[in-house]
Structure 1
């Protein structure tokens, strides 16, 4: 019997399979939450996820793109649908008060840092496993190939490209559509969609400005990189106000400026780290070029003894959801959750490396782009949501903890269940 996303019997079947798998998936989630790992160091995390997928009978490959996991569930002829979850954590000290809160630390070049799943990647990867269990239990209702990805290093925009560079599509399968999701502090049990530009492109740029250090009492015998850096910080703000069309959204932030050791020493160099975000990839490249132009000019004006050094720390492209695919998935989610539980997701200045999987040029794979849909699942329990001031999703979210907060916790039962069912309903919209 063939079922479709609009079929009420399929909704009931997805719910029943989620019920059957939920306790196991919740235990997995709590284990992952308690033992977070940094980007490209997700060795125990990926091993645990691979084991869980193997226990469900999937074809599992470990170590793709470093610590990535790829699992295939083949079920006859039909399209290939890829589901992606990320799994890395952040250097943040957890303050949630959970009895399974993280107390782990890691050694980095900046010393010992605390670790926390403050962005919910443990939730995302657990939902992938939960969806695998649901789809394995519904094989008589669909046909095709389910391709499940547990991706490393999203927080540094490195994992998607690493998996693609490791031959993801050549070694396994080239998907017909790619589906992914992220938690947000919307009402738990609701799902948000947005077609077109949804998340920003982002570049994190490191800049070294060179000077000629010396005694603070004899500035004429030095070249002061602090003065040059101060002019740079001020002048960079003119890019948005004078070089970007008013209707475009661009953010240029100098998040780090480090120079010197004490008041009476003019240092040899100053280091800046600059964060650039926009929703248009061509405009984004123009803004980065403007930053480099301004810094080079200020260094020349300030008599810097050698040109500045630029280093891209990490970057990603803008996320543009395919409009046709969004409507197809949104229809399936509406049938499953009810239209009242869907919301229009506002555009986010946050960024993701998920779009690399769909961009042939930026992702470095051949052929045409692959359509993708990236949606958002609510993570705020109903009682707190009702007590939060504001009208509508965007207003209320301004009053709630966001991802990357030490107090942020998206892993309640409703959100975990919603994430599993949203992925399953989305996949069945193409495979059913």
Structure 2
């Protein structure tokens, strides 16, 4: 039986985590570090860095962890930082993860700490902004490290603080078959080989009532597969299309056909799926039928079996529609991110901790169409990925600017809830597991 199965059975046999003195200490210490956490967040926000270029941010994190007396490892996954906190008592290992990278987005003026940074994204100079909230994730985990380092004499086991680069992808090299970055690259370089945690947790800020924590068991975020299709026909005069094989018309038929993969071939009572063609390019003049048309898009699913079936059907549908028009379709589907699966037993056991951290302000989150490379960590050990609402009081979260939007805004008063949650999960998990050993 695998270690993962044993861990899952162990979780299933245990009751929900109850409040402890350690949790109360962690929550108190969170209040003490709150202002420093906000200052870290503003500093990181003002100096954003793209994926695999998080040099300044990594140094800020590593310097902080070194000051706390942690065992610090740098350069993992190119710019990742990992800190190991050894508790004074024997026990299990828990991992806490934060992503550090920003996006190629221009931030509007207004905040006194607004970004004016520019960076290189796939060879192009672009504005850079923390438009997804990774600045808050880094600051909350830095605060959590300080909280738990001050409690090391009472901690059973170890805490692994994972500061991960390139969650949004590499800004240096475009993805492709065999290309790894972020969580995958950290794992490939042996992150869990020498010290494999018994569980891993992560929080992500989202539009939602400020300070509200939300989560769900099972599938949480979608898998993401990069889709590219090249339809090859026969070039000729636009006024005599009968002498050509028109890849433009054929591409339109392919795009329409792809929608039937979801609506007619996928069992939507089992699990949702999405196929989006976001780019199409072909032709050089209005009176020329081009030789080929290229399309690119994304496939999102929440179940491994559905993922495999959709990929098969996309390829078959594209090729056969093209063939019926006398053209050919070259289809490439490259897996990018797995679906994030929250371990059912772990989620059930740790839910009371999250409720206490948010003072009861909790909700069940729906499935999210975005993807997360936390999925690769949660694919190795039981994981729990949850959300923190950061929409200011008095503003409707439904109309608030979403993540990746230049107007995405964070209510910093919510960050203490994230720090309480992460530190509470760590001490709760360690205490509960240590008691079972």
Report the TM range for the smaller structure's normalisation. Answer: 0.7 to 0.9
For residues 87-139 of structure 1, the C-alpha deviation after alignment (integer angstroms, 9 at most, x for no partner) is 11112222362121112222334733222111111111111111000001122
2:348 match: 327
Q: Which residue of 1 is the match for residue 330 of structure 2? A: 308
> Structure 1 residues 285 and 17, CA, compared in 2 at 3 Å: closer, same or farther?
same
Q: Distance in 2 between matches of 1:193 and 1:108?
A: 33
CA contact (8 A) 2:341 2:378 kept: no
- For residues 234 and 27 of structure 1, the distance between their equivalents in structure 2, rounded to whole angstroms, comes to 50
Aligned residue for 2:428? 429
* SS at 2:251 equivalent: helix
Alignment of 1:269-418 (within 5 A): 269-304=292-327, 307-310=329-332, 312=334, 314-339=335-360, 341-360=361-380, 370-384=381-395, 388=396, 397-410=397-410, 412-418=411-417
Aligned to 1:365: none
Q: For residue 264 of structure 1, what is the aligned residue in structure 2?
A: 287
- CA deviation string 1:374-426 (max 9, x = no partner): 11111012232xxx3xxxxxxxx43222211111122x332221111110001
Q: What's the counterpart of residue 206 of structure 1?
A: 228
Which 5+ residue runs of structure 2 have no aligned equivalent? 1-16, 170-179, 432-437
**Separation in structure 2 between the aligned mates of residue 69 and residue 348 of structure 1, nearest angstrom:** 28
2:108 maps to 1:87:
no
Q: Give me the whole-angstrom Cα distance separating, in 1, the residues matched to 2:311 and 2:425.
A: 37
In 2, Cα distance between equivalents of 1:380 and 1:330: 22
Aligned-residue offset at 1:221:
4.0
Moved more, 98-107 or 13-22: 13-22
Aligned to 2:35: 23
- Aligned partner (choices 51, 55, 69) of residue 63 of structure 2: 51
**Alpha-carbon distance between aligned partners in 1 of 2:109 and 2:367, rounded to the nearest angstrom:** 27
> Is residue 149 of structure 1 aligned with residue 162 of structure 2?
yes
Equivalent residue, structure 2, for 1:193: 215
Q: Which residue of 1 aligns with 2:245?
A: 223
Equivalent pair of 2:104/2:127 in contact (CA under 8 Å): yes
Q: Which moved more, 1:30-39 or 1:103-112?
A: 103-112
Q: Specify every segment of 5 or more residues in structure 1 that has no aligned partner in the other structure, as ranges.
A: 361-369, 389-396
In the other structure, the counterpart of 1:237 is: 259
**Mapped contact 2:99–2:167 kept (Cα < 8 A):** yes
The 1:215/1:113 distance shift into structure 2, 3 A limit, reads: farther
The alpha-carbon deviation at position 213 of structure 1 amounts to 3.0
Q: Return the alpha-carbon distance in structure 2 between the equivalents of residues 254 and 44 of structure 1.
A: 36
CA spacing shift, 1:355–1:267, aligned 2, 3 Å: same
Distance in 1 separating the partners of 2:290 and 2:73: 51
Which of these residues, 44, 69, 73, is aligned with residue 81 of structure 2? 69
Offset at residue 207 of structure 1 (A) = 2.1
SS in 1 for 2:394: helix
Tell me by how many angstroms 1:44 deviates. Answer: 2.3
2:72 to 56, 60, 78: 60
- Which of 99-108 and 229-238 deviates more? 99-108
C-alpha contact (below 8 Å) 1:124/1:181 kept by paired residues: yes
TM-score normalised by L of structure 2? 0.86
* SS at 2:321 equivalent: helix
Helix, strand or coil: the match of 1:197? strand
State the TM-score, normalizing by the size of structure 1: 0.87
Return 56-65 or 148-157, whichever deviates more. Answer: 148-157
Q: Deviations over 1:129-185 (max 9, x none)?
A: 1100000112233211000101112123841111110011114x1000111111121
> Secondary structure of the equivalent of 2:51?
coil
Distance 2:39 2:351 in 1: 29
Is residue 254 from structure 1 mapped to residue 277 from structure 2 by the alignment?
A: yes
Cα displacement (A) at 1:311: 5.0
Shift of residue 245 of structure 1?
Answer: 1.6
Taking structure 1 as reference, are residues 61 and 402 closer, same or farther at Cα in structure 2, changes over 3 Å only? same
Contact 1:208 1:270 in 2 (8 A): yes
State whether residues 5 and 11 of structure 1, in contact with CA within 8 Å, keep that contact through their aligned partners in structure 2.
Answer: no
- After alignment, is 294-303 or 9-18 more displaced? 9-18
Partner residue of 1:139 out of 152, 156, 172: 152
